[in-house]
Amino acid sequence: MGITRSISLIFSIIIVFSGTVFGFQNQNQPQARDANLLTNPQRAVHTFLHWQQTGHKNPEFVIKTMKLSDGDAEEKLELAGQLLKVLDARGLMIDYENIPSNPNYTDSLSGLQQYILFESLPAVYLIKTVQNEWVFSEATVAEIPELYQSTFSSYVTFVVDNLPEWAENEWLGIKIWQYLAVFIWLLIGLILMKIFGFFLDNYVKRLAQKTNFTWDDDLIDEVEKPALLVFLMIFYFLTYTNLQFSVTISHFLSSLLEIAISIGFIWLLYNLADVFSKYLSVLSAKTETELDDQLIPLIRKTLRFFVVIMGVIAVLQNNGYNVASLIAGLGIGGLAVALAARETLANFFGSVTIFVDRPFKMGDWIKVGDVEGTVEEVGFRSTRIRTFYNSLVSVPNSNIANTDVDNLGLRKYRRLKTVLNLTYSTTPEQMEAFVEGIKAIVKANKHFRQDMYEVHFNSFGAHSLDVLVYVFFDVPDWSTELQQRHNFFLEILRLAEEVGVEFAFPTQTLHMDSFYKDEPRKVGEERNEEELASVVHEFGPDGKKRKPDGIRIFKGGEEVDFGANK
């Protein structure tokens, strides 16, 4: 008998020891577990969540977190269930590691012994009672029914509560009725978006078309598509809780919809930057200065860049990323970034130099290095030049700032220098008439500079008599210059026909002296030495044939002279 008692005693000790080490508790010891349920905020939240999960349900433990409710046990359990559904449907995931385990925790902002579970839902918080237990506050308990009603539509709740049993079956962790609900939910959103789009097209656009402004039409056109996206995403965001998904799916869906809404607003503001730029373009067209015309593209790009950056920051901040820490972390690689962005900064300061010095403006014909064309846009990094081959060349602003810029567009006059070749059969009188005729053409055309031009018989060429034409067009652009060149050359052709001169082209004359047998070919009249000497004297000082001022032609006794100084 003594041996039997000893064995029983040892066996009892082993059982007790095993219960202590491995966590087994006797059913007659609920007081030990009960005592640890509400000792700190972390334990209280664990009690609220854990004992409502499938396979761990214990109503007696759950209702302890609702001690401050005036209802009975059944009402307290219903409140706890409603609050859990609200948190799950809104995708509010609880991380136990972030919940304080200090029994004497004090909120740093209020100085009270309370803990707010979610910043986005401040009405739900725990407080420490006089019994040193952490439970949901009286305000939270009173707010739960309203939170439940604002989270779930009463019509949806009624339908869900009266669904047949087969709709409650699950497939891949989602109930059958939830699959159907998602389809209906998406369909309703698309229908409402179509209705909203119809309203914009048939009412708002018509009102905008009746105004005397054009910018409101641009506003509607640019805003319509992003507005439809924002409208659709906001509808889904406000109603997704009725799907009653698990907290994991709801959290993912909530984050996805928030990002989609942010993208919609970024798109909306991005397009509004274009509308604002167009409005500024209308205002700048009324001013005399052209500096504002150059600033508008930069303003548009700056606004776009600002919208995108701020949008990205907002998306990151709303998804729990600490943007300040992220930016501070970038400072570690600041040197590498600065070195990599050296060219970018050089181009930026180059653009500043362009706007300060204003070496050219939009639409100017410029030549920078080997690039020649019309300026289309001046940006932060580069200047875009449309070449005469219709290609678009982007020249870095740092290169422009450090390179000679030939602004052909700022020319007041556009020079034409050419040489006209007349045949050697042209007489002196014809040459004089031809030269004076060209001067007369210049004088008769208002598109020529009248105080500076030169037209002269300039040289004896290898196959022609050369006339130098050096004139300046007073025209605003290259197209007008080409048109005036065309007109000028047509006038010269008509003049040559009237005067009777011919234009020469490269020729060679081959004389075959063998045709003359023993007599060489004679050139000019035969004159003796005395006659030749007499001719020389006639062209010399006091000679009768001398004309040091050139040949003059007269009409009605008046000399014909269309010189630049006349």
Measured in whole angstroms, the distance separating CA 508 from the mean position of its chain's CA atoms is 66
Those residues whose C-beta lies under 8 Å from the C-beta of residue 243, and which sit 6 or more positions away, are 89, 178, 181, 182, 185, 250, 253
φ, ψ at 183 (rounded to 5°): -60, -50
Which pLDDT tens digit goes with each residue over 532-549? 667 666 666 676 766 666
Which of 28-32, 128-132, 535-539 has the highest mean predicted lDDT (pLDDT)?
128-132
Which residue blocks in 93-214 are alpha helix, DSSP H? 138-151, 154-161, 176-199, 205-209
CA–CA separation, 269 and 276 (whole Å): 10
What are the C-alpha distances in Å from 195 to residues 192, 208, 550? Answer: 5, 19, 89
Token digits for 443?
């004088």
- Among 493, 485, 492, smallest CA distance to 414 is for 485
Is the full-model pTM beyond 0.85? Answer: no
CA–CA separation, 412 and 61 (whole Å): 93
Those residues whose C-beta lies under 8 Å from the C-beta of residue 555, and which sit 6 or more positions away, are none
239-274 in b/e form (b: 16+ CB < 10 A) is ebbbbbbebebbbebbeebbebbbbbbbbbbbbbbe
Q: Which residues pair with 466 in a beta bridge?
A: 421, 459
Which pLDDT tens digit goes with each residue over 391-422? 988 888 888 878 888 888 777 888 999 999 99
Burial of 68 (0-12, 13-18, 19+ CB in 10 A): middle
Binned at pLDDT 50, 70 and 90, residue 349 comes out as confident
Indicate the SS3 state at residue 403: coil
Least confident of 69-73, 139-143, 274-278, 462-466: 274-278
Indicate the SS3 state at residue 114: strand
Indicate the SS3 state at residue 512: coil
φ, ψ at 532 (rounded to 5°): -65, -40
Burial of 134 (0-12, 13-18, 19+ CB in 10 A): buried
Residue 13 in this model has a pLDDT that exceeds 50: no
Q: Residues 382, 396: contact at Cβ < 8 Å?
A: yes
Least confident of 18-22, 205-209, 421-425, 474-478: 18-22
Q: Strands of 437-508 (E only): list them.
A: 454-460, 465-473
Which pLDDT tens digit goes with each residue over 89-103? 888 888 888 888 899
Q: Residue range 366-395: average pLDDT? A: 85
